[in-house]
Each structure stands twice: as C-alpha cells, then as structure tokens.
Chain A
C-alpha cells in the first residue's frame, strides 16, 4: 500500500515551513513525487456512504437516549438493569461459548486428520462445510423442528437435551467459516513435516496435534473462534423458531412494549458486534487473508 501514516504526512506538510534554501527544493521535489491525493469523487463517495451508514445508528441513539423531548440515558440504564436483559444475554453468552468451544474442539482435529491422513475425504469435507450456506437458518429451523420438535418421536425440545439441540444447530451454522479459517491456517503450515517431526521425537499423535499443530495454527483458531462466537451471539432465526429466549429474541419482544429501552439496547448490541469485528481485525493484521465477514444469510 502506498503512502505513510498520519504522522508521516504531517511531517511532510509542516517541514517546508521551517526549512529554507537549498533544502526546500529537495523537499518540494520529494513532496510532489510522494504526495498522495484522494480524488474528489472518492472522497465524495465515502462521505455519502458514511452518512447512509451512520444515520440509522444516529437515529437509534436519538430515539433510545431520550424521553421524547430531551437527552437522557435512562432507557439505557433501565435496559441494562432489566432482568430479561440479564437472563437473555447470559443465555446467548452461554450458547456462544459452548458452540465456539465445540466447533474448535471438533473441527480442528478433523480438518487436521483429513489433511494428514484422509486426503480423499477432503472434497466431501469441503462439500459438507459449504452445505449450511445452501441450507440457510430458516430451512435448518424447519428441518431441526421436524426431526427433534414437539411433534417428533425424538422430542428434544421439551427434554433436558434442549440446549444440545441449539448448540448442534449453531455448530452447523458456524461450520462454513470455522472450517475455512482452520483449513486456511492448516494449509499455510507444512502439516506433514511437522507431524513427522513430532512423531520422530516420540510424541503421540494427540500430543503432536496439541503441542505442535495447535500453536502453529493459533491465529486461524482465534479467527474461527471469533467468527463462531459473534455468529452465535447475534443468531435469531433458529432461536426464535425453536423457542429459545436468547438476546436477539428478547430484543424483538422488548421493542414491542418498551421501544425506547429496546432501541437503547440495539446500540449495546451494535457495540457487541463492533467489539467482535475489532478483535477479528486485530487478528487479520497479524495474519493477512483472515476472513472478517461471515458471508451467509442470517
């Protein structure tokens, strides 16, 4: 990428004011050569885009942080103190953490074994991992409720196993990006060489995996974890249709009777999304090519 940092440009702008004589010409030449100028049209496009993208957030904040006439944080405090907010957020956090741990614990060793021992299974693994994009959440919800719903002989929804059903659904939902992030990381290191080195030093396959492979694909694992976590945190379709009172489901209900509080909590949810993306962006800076968007219907 061309150009320097903010400080670099500031130096170029301010230097000529202080330097006179022969140096000036040299600097002017350097400036004309290196100066990066944003085309007017590009600046205009970005400005208009910023308005379109910030306006709904501004409107939400205006509505949620007011009593109708004046600015107040009361709806936000009311929302943060609401028992339904606490229980639904706790539920979402619980499902997201369990889903993330399960996804990493299952997909990482499987992808590793497929890469190392069963290359012939690779294409089927890729196919299975892209399938959840073809079966969006709304279809999955119908399929899961027909197999495990209240009308099915295997009625998981009304049993103590109900949490397992949603976790299973979220495992499938997050599979495409979890697999992709881990697979990309695995392919960037020489899995075969590392495994043989581990084996020749007397390590068991499990130990090689945990102590050699896992550290060398750690950035891929972190990015997979963040993608899985943010997806599960924001997931509405499965939770709503299968009847789990998670945070997005609560958000929809609360807007029906306490709209200002609901809009204030929308801002909270925006910052949750923001935190997840910032964490992903931090990983992406260290591992270029990291996926920072899920890219699937929600």
Chain B
C-alpha cells in the first residue's frame, strides 16, 4: 500500500504541497475504513446470522427467519437496535476506563486485518514479521477485557475479567509454540512467504508435512479457540454463571463491540490457521487473467478460513460444555505446552534427520489417515440417524428449509 501511495504522489495525482505523511495518513485511514466497514464488520455481523441459523438446525429448530430473506438482515436490525439503546454507564464505574475498554478490544481484533494475506497481491501490509505481528496484536484484547472487568465495579465482572486474562495469557504460549514449527519449515515470519512455500493442493500443505505439524494444527486450533473466548473456553463470559462475565454492565453498542470482536476474531483465527497449515490462497492452476486469478485466490482463502475458523468453532461451541478454570489451566500447562514443545523439537529433528522419501511416505499416510477419519466420522453420523429411526422423510438437507405444518 505504501508503494501505491508513493506512486500517486509521484504521478502528481495528489497535491504535492501537502507533506507526504499526510497523504500516507489519509490513505491509511481510508483503507482502514474501507476494510473495517466493508469487510470486517459485515463479516462479524454475517457470522452472527450464520451461527444462529446453524445453531437452529443443531437444536432442531430454525434460526432467525423473519427479518429479510431467511432472516439475513437480522444482524443489521440487531446492530441498529443496539445503537439506539440508552448508553448506561454505572455511576460507580470507572468512567474513562469503562468507555475505553471496548475500543481496546476492537483495536486488538481489527488490527490483525492489516497483515492477513487475502490473495497474492491483496495484503495491506506484507510485514516481514507478519505472523508475529498478528499474534502480538491479538494480545491487546487481554488489556481491554481486564479494563472492562475492573471498570465495571461489579464483582462478577471482575471475576470474568481475571479469568479471561489468565486464560488468554496462558494460551498464548502453546499458540506461539505451535507457530514455530511452521516458521522453521518456511524460514521466514512473513505471511506471504509461508503461503508461497506451501504448494497448491492438500498434498503440499504444511498440515500433512510431518506428524508434528499435524498435531501442531490441533494444538494451535485449541489454543486459538481459548484465546477467542469460545466454548469450551468461554468462562469469561459464562452465560449461566456470571451472566455475561466481564461484559455484564455493558449495554447497547458497547456490548455489541465486544461480541463483534469475538465473532470477528473467529475469522482471524481461521485466516491464521489457513495461512499456516492449509496453504492460504494457493490454487492449483495459474490463470493469465489476473482478475480471475485473484478472485479465485480470494475465494479459496475465504472459504478455507471461514470453514475452519468459523464453522467448526460454531459446531464445537454448541456441542461441548464449558471447562472449569483450573481444568483449563491444567490443560494448557500440562497438556498443550509439553505437546507443543515436542512438536517444535520434533519438527526440527524431522527437518534435519529424516530422509526425503520417508517424508513423502509420511505425507501420503497422513493424507490417507485424514480421509479415512472423515469417512469414519460420516459413517458415525449416519449411524446416529439410523439409531434414532429417522427415515428419509425426517431429513432435510436444505439449510434454509423450514418447518412442519400443524396437526
């Protein structure tokens, strides 16, 4: 982006009398605005719609279906409603901190979009410490949550904030440790480099490169879920225990900011996972037409990150119960961190000492095992349907399909 602005200045498109940094700043703001309002917020909003529809089907009901076609405008209606609500700041709450906390959380979340590689050319800032930047910026969320918990002047919020701080800070470790095997394999921290060093099809993804990265995928996925405060790790906002945890005292648009950050964070998790393990925007064939190429790359990236980062966590959230605080800490420090260390050392050892033909063999085996696993899973799903004695007439594969008639 910086080069593009520079080219505009050089080409005389913008008045040269104004200092260059003003141009950069304007461009940054405009780009930022476009990305935030055109992509980030709609993603967060539409994810709420997707989640509610999926949850509906999981629970044998339909989700929102009144506002707009199949309830698609529900999120707009909800956002509008929240904006029109009274802005309640508790008298005894710490005013400035209370008001500032949602913005910190949003910053921590939106800031990551600057480094996400959507296509081979569409990346706002191809930092050479890309992945490190992303993990660092998401840690701002901890500060925001602690601020919210403390400033609410509510013991329940405080508990929620403290739990969340402990959780996010702890799970940074296995997340970071799981990134390192990938960095070892690539040799660079830059997001685009990581993607470019993977190939196009599933065969050359880092996910199947060696058994250690395979395990690292799951470790990273679980840690990222924990950092995003998603069930099974949603203690900080445990609805049935602490009302809404650190966000109890927030109403209207401020609470919407918190929850948009949570849902949008899912997409960021998906994007990071796709970049690191699933080959990013790589597509098997190259097109001459650059527009077609980039559209396909964008679609690939988007579908992969949405599928793994949004749909699977939604599915997990509505299947699993919540883990208790001490069990969560046990899981992090006694299970995930040692496994992550083993992954790191294992990858290093793999790179050094394992012959290429063994690597190829293991890659094929891992691919095959994954396919077999998915098939077994589908068979299990069919078993459940048969056990509940559900014939064809009880099934509906139409995701927008609805209800029965009475009688």
Q: Does A associate with B in a complex? A: no
| Residue ranges of A at the interface with B (Cβ–Cβ < 8 Å) | none
